[in-house]
Amino acid sequence: MHLFLTYTIFGLVLGGVYAIAASGLVLTYNTSGIFNFAHGAEAMLGAFLYWEVRYGWGVPTPLALILVLGVFGPLMGGLLYLVIMRGLRNTAEVTKVVVTVALMLGMLYLSEWFWNPQTDRTVVPFFGITSQVKILGADVTTHELIALGTAVLIGLGLRLFFYRLRIGVAMRGAVDDPGLLELNGHNPERIAALSWAMGSFLAVLAGVLLTPISGGALQANSLTLLVIDAFAAAVFGRLRSIPRTYIGALVLGLAASYVLAYSPKTWQWASNFRVSLPMIVLFVVLIVLPQDRLRGASVARTRERAHLPSVRSAVIAGAALVVVVVLLRQLMNDSDITTITLGMTFAVIALSLTLLTGYAGEMNLAAVSFGAIATMVSYHIGVTGHGLASRSTLWGIVVGVIVTAVVGAVVSLPALRLRGLYLGLATMAFGVFLTDMVLMDSNPHRIPLIHTKFSLFSGGAGINSLVIPPLRIGPLDLHDGTTFLVTATVVFAVLGIGLVALRNSSYGRRLTAMKDSPAASATLGQSLLRLKLSVFMLSAAVAGLGGVLMSMALGSVTPDNFSIFLSLSLLMLTVVAGISYVSGALMGGLLSGVGFALIVSTFHDLASRHGSVHGLFSFLASFATVTPALIGIGVGRNPSGSVHDFVDSYRSLRHRPRVLVGGGAVEAVLYVLSLTNVLGHWWFAILTSVLVMFLPLVGQMSDPARREQEAAAVPLELAGIDSPYSDGLRAELDRALGIEDLLPPERLARSRRNGRRSDGSGDRSMTEPLGAGVGDAGT
Amino acid sequence: MTAPVTDDGRPIEGGAEPILELVGVRAGYGAIEVLHGVDLVVPRGSLVALLGPNGGGKTTTLRVCSGLLRVASGELRVAGRTVNGAAAHDLARVGVCSVPEGRGIFPNLTVRENLWLATGTGVARDRVESVAFDRFPRLGERRNQLAGTMSGGEQQMLAIARALATEPVVLILDELSMGLAPLVVSALYETVAELASSGISVLVAEQFAKTVLPIAQSAAIMLHGRVVRVGEPAAVEEELASAYLGG
Ligand SMILES: Nc1ncnc2c1ncn2[C@@H]1O[C@H](COP(=O)(O)OP(=O)(O)O)[C@@H](O)[C@H]1O
Ligand SMILES: [Mg+2]
C-alpha cells in the first residue's frame, strides 16, 4: 500500500509535468497550425540555461527562475514566431514539420556546442533534496509538490485565459479563421506571437521542473524527446482539447510510474519498456481515435511546386549518374569510396521519402529505422560463411525488404485514417520505440519451445551491435569497394527511374490527386486507405533496401546508426534539396551521408593541425554542425527545394546547345587535368560546382531570346495586348493551360515543331493552371 | 433618395462625398492578377450593389476594400484618405466593417463569445449584446450555443449583429444570400436597408440582383475584374442579362 501510494504520487507529478509540456504543444498547434517538434528542444534549452544561470553563474534560485521562465521562455517563443513560423503560411504540412524538426536539431547541436555533453550537470530540487513532507505516510519532496501544484495552476490558468479573457477567446477564434479575427479589429499576428510565447514558456517550465524529478544529470537528447511524451498526451486530446490532454498526461505519468514500481527485477527490458511507454500509448490512442472528417473546403493552395520529368529523361539521367560516378571513382582514394558509397545508400533511403512525401504527401519521420528492420532480418537469416569470408545473401535482403514492408503496414495502418501529421507522429514514435527497445535487445533470451538462445540485436556475447557482411550474388561480390559503389549507384538509378515511371503512371496520378485534395480524390471513388497503405508499404520497402545497403557499407552497426535524429536530418536535407525530385533524394542522401560529416571532420582536422588558430577551426566545426539545421529552417522561404530552382535555371538552357556543349567541354578538361594530377581533387570539386552553378547565368547573359523572355514579364492575360504575341509566348500559354495534355499527339508534334521550345513532353509543369486569368485574353 | 452618380461612377457636383473609393485598383493572388483596374465609389450614406456573374471579382474587390488583400496598384480611399496597405484590423478600427463570404462567424465559439470578439473595434461588450439581442431575439435565446450549430440564417444574423452593434462608417457585405432560403434573405436585407437608412454607407456584393436592387441607390456590374457599368438600379437591371450571358 505504501509503495502504491508513493508511486501514485510520483506518477501524478510526472503526469503533471507532461501535461504542462503537452498543453504548450496543443496551444501553438491550434493557433498557428504548426506542430512544433522543437517543443522538447525548447524545454531542453530552458533546462540547460537554468542550470547555467543557477549553478554556472551562481544566481539565486528566484532570480534565476525569473530570468529563465519569465524572460527567456516567452522571448524565445515570440522570436521563433516572428522570425520563422510566420513565414510558414500556405506551406505543405511536411514543410512545417521539416522546419520545426530542423529547429529541434539546431537547438540540440547548439546545446552540445555550449554545454559539453561529457560533463555531468545535476539540478538540485527546489528547497533541496531533503525538503520533504509526509502524505499518508509517503515521502514527497517539496519539489514534487511544487511541480504538481504548478501543473494544477497552469491547467486552471489556461482554462480562465481561454474563457474569461477576450484575447484568449480571440486565440480560440484564430483557430477557425484568422482573417475574420482581423475583420473584427484584432491583430492575428500579435495573438499568434503571444501563443508562441506562452507555448515556449510552458516548455521551459516543464524542462526546469522535470530534471530533478526524473533524477540524474541533464541530458540533451532525452529532454528533447520529451516532446514524444508531450505528443502522446496531446494526441489523447486530439491535438485540440487541453482538459483531455491533461488526462492523457496523467495516465501516461501513472503508467510509467507503475511499470517502474511493479515490473519484476528479472525483466531486463522493463526499463527500456518504461522509456518506450509513451510510444506505445501513442499507438493505442491512434487506434482508438475516431476517423478524421475529410474537409474539402479547406484545400489550401500551397507554395510547393515541382516539375515532372519523363521516363526517357530519367533513364538518360540515371545512365549519366552511373557514368559520372565511375569517372569520379578514378579520382578517389579508398576511404573516399567508402564514404561516397555510404552517401549513395542514404540516397536510396531518401528515395523512399520522395515516393511517400514528394509524390503522395504522407510522412515518415523514421525512414532509417525501417532500414534497421531489414538489417536485422537479413542478419538473422541471410548470412553465409564465417569471418572475413562471410557474405550476405540476396535471399536475406529480399526477405528483409518484404518484412519491412509488412512492418510498415502494421505501423502505418492505425494512423492512415487520420490526417497526415498523425502518420508522422506514429512513425516517429515507432522509430524511437525501435531504438529504445528492439535495438537494445542484446541479451540472449531463451525461446520457450525450441530452447535456443536468441537476441534481436546482438552479434553475440551481449554486444549491442551487428556485423553485416557484404552481399554476394553469383559473380557479383560487394566486398570490393568499387563494385559496391557502382552497384549502389545502379540500385539508386534503377529505383529512381522506377519512381519516375511510377509517378507517370495512373497510380502516380492517383497519388498526386490524393496529395492535392483527399476529399476530391475520395469523391472520385478512390480508396484513400488502400492508396496510402500501398504507397507506405512500397516506401518502407525502399527504405529497408537502402537500410541494408547502408549497414553493409558501414560493416558493423549499432543502435546509434538508426537513431531517430538521423532519420529526421535525412528528411530535412531531402526536403531542402527538393523532396519531389529523385535528384533531390540523391542530393539529400549524399549530404546527410557524406557532406556535413566531411566538412565537420575537415574542420576538426584543421583545428588539431593548426594549434594557433585552433579556436577558429573548432568554432567552424561546431558551426558546421548547426548549418544543416539553419538550412532546414530556411526551407520555409523556398519550400520547393533547391533542386527545383536548379531545374528551373537549367530549363532556360534547353534551347542553347552551344552553352551546354561549351560547359561540358570545360568540365571534361577539368576532369582530365585532375586525372593527370595537374589539378588537386579539391580544386576539381570546387571548380566543377562553380561551373555548374554559373552555367545557367552564362546562358542567360548571352541569350538572344532574352528580350522575348522579358516581354513575358507582362501578366499572362495581357500578353498579346501589351506585348507582341510570339511563338515563345504561345508555348508559355500552352504550358500554363496544360494544352500539351489535351492536344492529340500529332497536333502536339506539329505545334512543337513550329514552336520555339523544342523540349520533350515530359516537360509538363505541375504549376497551378493560370486558366482563370488567361481566359480574359480571349475577350 | 437616389444618390446622384454619373455613368462612370463619379459623384455629380454637389452630391455626397465618397466614403469608400477605389481608383484604378489592380490586385490579385500571387502572380495571378484578378482585378485589372477597378473604379468604384460608395457615396456617404448610400447603398451600392456590386453585381455580376460568378468569378467576376466581386469577392476580391471586397477583400481589397476591407484590407485583407493588398492593392498592387491604384488607390483605395476611405473618407478621402488613401489607405493602401493598411492592415485589415486597422481599417476595422476606423469603421470599415466587413462580413465575408460564407458565414462571417466563428463556428466553434458561442454566440456570446462571437459578440465579445466584435468588441475588437472598441465598443463595450454590454452594448454589443443588448443591440444584438434586441434586434434578433433568436440570438438571445441561443446566447450560449456554439455558433456553428445554429441554422444558416441565424449565423448570418449573428454576422450582421456585429455590424449593427459596432456602428461602422462603411458596411461591406459579401453574398448574404448564399445558401439561404429566400424568406430569410429578404428578412436579412430588410435589416440591411434599415442600417443604410440610419446613415451607414453599405457596399453589397450579390450574384442575384433581384434581392438587393430594390433597396440599392446605385449599382455596378463587375465582369472579368473590371467594373463595366455603373448607374441607377433600374437602368443597370436592364443590362444585367447581357452582362451575364455575353461579355
Ligand atoms: N485564393 C485565390 N487564389 C487564386 N485565384 C483566386 C483566389 N480566389 C479567387 N480567385 C480567382 O479570382 C477570380 C475572381 O474571384 P472572386 O473575386 O471570388 O469572384 P466573385 O466573388 O465575383 O465570384 C476568379 O477567377 C477566381 O478563380
Ligand atoms: Mg464571391
pLDDT at site A347: 95
pLDDT at site B11: 46
Reference B105, options B150, B60, B73, B138; nearest CA is B150
Give how far A182 is from chain B: nearest CA, Å.
5
Tens digits of residue pLDDT in A62-82: 999 999 999 999 999 999 999
Reference A573, options A601, A550, A551, A597; nearest CA is A597
pLDDT over threshold 50, residue A757: no
Among B29, B32, B34, B207, residue to substitute to test ligand 1 (most atoms within 8 Å of Cβ) = B34
Best mutation site among A163, A181, A184 for testing chain B: the one with the most B CBs within 10 Å? Answer: A184
Tens digits of residue pLDDT in B192-244: 998 888 889 999 998 878 888 888 999 999 988 999 889 888 888 888 777 76
Tell me what the mean pLDDT of segment B144-161 comes to.
91
Three-state secondary-structure class, residue B97: strand
Are A755 and A727 a contacting pair, CB within 8 Å?
yes
Give how far A166 is from chain B: nearest CA, Å.
7
Task: Please give, one letter per residue, the 3-state secondary structure of A480-517.
Answer: CHHHHHHHHHHHHHHHHHHHHHHHHCHHHHHHHHHHHC
| CB proximity list for B220: less than 8 A, separation 6 or greater | B9, B40, B48, B49, B50, B51, B227, B229, B230, B236
Measured between alpha carbons, how far is A246 from A236 in angstroms, rounded to an integer?
Answer: 9
Contact B68 A715 (CB under 8 A): no
Tell me the residues of chain B between 163 and 222 that have a Cβ less than 8 Å away from chain A.
none
Task: Determine which residue's CA is closest to atom 14 belonging to ligand 1.
Answer: B57
Residue the block writes with cell 437602368: B235
Measured between alpha carbons, how far is A406 from A538 in angstroms, rounded to an integer?
Answer: 10
pLDDT over threshold 50, residue A775: no
What residues of A are in contact with residue B55 (Cβ under 8 Å)? Answer: 772
Name the closest residue on chain B to residue A771, using Cα atoms: B32
Name the closest residue on chain A to residue B105, using Cα atoms: A180
Residue B63 near ligand 1, beta carbon < 6 Å: no
Tens digits of residue pLDDT in A127-181: 777 777 777 777 788 888 999 999 999 999 999 999 999 999 999 888 778 889 9
Nearest residue, CB atoms, B117 vs list A169, A175, A717: A169
Tell me what the mean pLDDT of segment A735-748 comes to.
55
Length, in residues, of chain A: 779
Three-state secondary-structure class, residue A301: coil
Contact B108 A773 (CB under 8 A): no
Sign of the alpha-carbon torsion through A56, A60, A65, A71: negative
pLDDT at site A613: 62
Sign of the alpha-carbon torsion through A71, A72, A77, A82: positive
Are A228 and A276 a contacting pair, CB within 8 Å?
no
Tens digits of residue pLDDT in A594-639: 765 666 566 666 666 666 666 666 666 666 667 767 777 777 667 7
pLDDT over threshold 60, residue B6: no
Task: Determine which residue's CA is closest to atom 6 belonging to ligand 1.
Answer: B29
Reference A227, options A12, A91, A13, A28; nearest CA is A28
DSSP designation for A90: T
Tens digits of residue pLDDT in B10-38: 444 445 688 999 999 999 987 788 999 99
- Across chain A, mean pLDDT equals 81
| CB proximity list for A632: less than 8 A, separation 6 or greater | A98, A99, A101, A102, A103, A105, A106, A572, A573, A575, A576
Nearest residue, CB atoms, A180 vs list B106, B121, B247: B106
Interface residues on A facing B, Cβ-Cβ cutoff 8 A: 166, 169-170, 172-173, 175-177, 179-188, 715, 717, 770, 772-773, 776, 779
B228 vs A: CB within 8 A: no
Measured between alpha carbons, how far is B203 from B216 in angstroms, rounded to an integer?
Answer: 9
Cell triple for residue B5? Answer: 452618380
Measured between alpha carbons, how far is A483 from A465 in angstroms, rounded to an integer?
Answer: 25
What residues of A are in contact with residue B31 (Cβ under 8 Å)? Answer: 715, 770
DSSP designation for A307: B
Measured between alpha carbons, how far is B92 from A463 in angstroms, rounded to an integer?
Answer: 68
B62 CA: nearest ligand 1 atom:
17
Task: Determine which residue's CA is closest to atom 7 belonging to ligand 1.
Answer: B29
* Ligand 1 center to A440 CA (angstroms): 56
Nearest residue, CB atoms, B33 vs list A176, A717, A779: A717
Contact B36 A176 (CB under 8 A): no
| Centroid of chain to Cα A620 | 25
pLDDT at site A768: 35
Residue B144 near ligand 1, beta carbon < 6 Å: no
What residues of B are in contact with residue A165 (Cβ under 8 Å)? Answer: none
Are B17 and B11 a contacting pair, CB within 8 Å?
yes
Q: Please report which helix (H) or strand (E) contains residue B215, including its range.
A: none
B68 vs A: CB within 8 A: yes
pLDDT over threshold 50, residue A770: no
pLDDT at site A535: 94
The alpha carbon torsion through A332, A336, A340, A341 (nearest 10 deg) reads 100
Length, in residues, of chain B: 247
pLDDT at site B9: 47
B82 beta partners:
B77
Tens digits of residue pLDDT in A650-697: 777 777 778 888 888 888 888 888 888 777 777 787 788 788 878 877
Angle at A541 between CA A537 and CA A545, to 5 degrees: 170
Contact B106 A715 (CB under 8 A): no
Q: At what angle do helices A481-504 and A506-516 cross, to 10 degrees?
A: 70
Burial (Cβ within 10 Å: 0-12, 13-18, ≥19) of residue A728? middle
Least confident interval from A417-421, A543-547, A697-701, A773-777? A773-777
Reference A529, options A538, A518, A520; nearest CA is A518
pLDDT over threshold 70, residue A361: yes
B203 beta partners:
B48, B172
What residues of B are in contact with residue A169 (Cβ under 8 Å)? Answer: 109, 113, 116-117
pLDDT at site A421: 83
Higher pLDDT, A603 or A390: A390
Measured between alpha carbons, how far is B103 from A775 in angstroms, rounded to an integer?
Answer: 30
* Ligand 2 center to A391 CA (angstroms): 68
- Ion ligand 2 neighbours (CB, 5 A) are B 59
How many of the other CB atoms lie within 10 Å of CB of A70? 13
B115 vs A: CB within 8 A: no
What residues of A are in contact with residue B68 (Cβ under 8 Å)? Answer: 179, 182-183
Tens digits of residue pLDDT in A282-338: 888 887 877 665 554 344 556 677 778 888 989 999 999 999 999 888 887 777 788
pLDDT at site A296: 43
Most trustworthy range by pLDDT among A418-432, A449-463, A483-497, A614-628: A483-497
pLDDT over threshold 80, residue A702: no
Name the closest residue on chain B to residue A303, using Cα atoms: B30
Above pLDDT 70, what percent of chain A? Answer: 80
Measured between alpha carbons, how far is A766 from A105 in angstroms, rounded to an integer?
Answer: 32
Angle at A361 between CA A357 and CA A364, to 5 degrees: 45
* Ligand 1 center to B72 CA (angstroms): 16
Measured between alpha carbons, how far is B98 from B163 in angstroms, rounded to an integer?
Answer: 8
B61 CA: nearest ligand 1 atom:
17
Least confident interval from A171-175, A462-466, A529-533? A462-466
Reference B203, options B169, B231, B239, B242; nearest CA is B169
Tell me what the mean pLDDT of segment B92-117 comes to.
91
* Ligand 2 center to B224 CA (angstroms): 13
What residues of A are in contact with residue B105 (Cβ under 8 Å)? Answer: 180
How many of the other CB atoms lie within 10 Å of CB of A160? 11
Measured between alpha carbons, how far is A403 from A543 in angstroms, rounded to an integer?
Answer: 12
pLDDT over threshold 50, residue B141: yes
What counts of helices (H) and strands (E) characterise chain B?
Answer: 9, 10
pLDDT over threshold 80, residue A713: no
Contact A186 B88 (CB under 8 A): no
Tell me what the mean pLDDT of segment A1-11 comes to.
85
B239 vs A: CB within 8 A: no
pLDDT at site A523: 80
Least confident interval from A280-289, A376-385, A449-458, B190-199? A449-458
Distances (CA, A) of A771 to A514, A739, B27, B228: 22, 11, 17, 22
Measured between alpha carbons, how far is A643 from A640 in angstroms, rounded to an integer?
Answer: 8
Contact A182 B117 (CB under 8 A): no
Angle at A188 between CA A184 and CA A193, to 5 degrees: 155
User: Phi/psi at A606 (nearest 5 deg)?
Assistant: -60, -40
Q: Please report which helix (H) or strand (E) contains residue A363, including its range.
A: none
